[in-house]
Amino acid sequence: MRKLIFTLTAALFSLTSYAQIEKPVTWSYAAKKTSATEAIIYLKATIEDGWHLYSQFVKAGGPVKTTITFDKSPLFTLVDKTTEPKPITKFESTFNMNVSYFEKSVIFQQKVKLKGKTALVKGKLEFMVCDDHQCLPPEEIAFSVSIK
């Protein structure tokens, strides 16, 4: 009986080591006041080598683009749209089109107009990452940034 329990435990342990979930992107958030009434929200993606994260401006028919949604709040208003640096744009045969993406890291920026001295900015990010062999399913995560 002990041998059977040991064998089952060893088998389960080995299976869990193969079933690790890949998370090639980590996100960090920050805010910086640029005046008494304005601030910039920074959403930084750090991307593992070999992977890429898609731009906010991918055309229909391609991979899932990065989408940033901010929750409405009486404490601030969004100024213009979320900006991003110039992406890499290349033809990808998987999608049979040119696609724009980022490697290593990217910082998205959103300017906000404050209605008070402080604010808590919340929202969600939807994104997809691929490497040369696979694309992971789109992921959605919530974020929260404090402006002081």
Asked whether the predicted pLDDT for residue 1 surpasses 70, the reply is no
User: Which residues share a beta bridge with 83?
Assistant: 109
Q: Give the C-alpha separation, 46 to 25, whole Å.
A: 6
Asked whether the predicted pLDDT for residue 20 surpasses 90, the reply is no
Lowest mean pLDDT across 16-25, 40-49, 58-67? 16-25
Half-sphere exposure at residue 100, Cβ-oriented, CA atoms within 13 angstroms: 13
Between 2.60.40.1250, 3.30.160.620, 3.40.50.150, 1.10.3720.10, what CATH number should domain 22-147 receive?
2.60.40.1250
Helix spans in the chain (H): 2-18
Mean pLDDT of 33-53: 97
Which amino acid type is present at position 23? K
Question: Higher model confidence: residue 6 or residue 25?
Answer: 25
Reported confidence tier of residue 22, pLDDT bands at 50, 70, 90: confident
Mean pLDDT of 42-64: 96
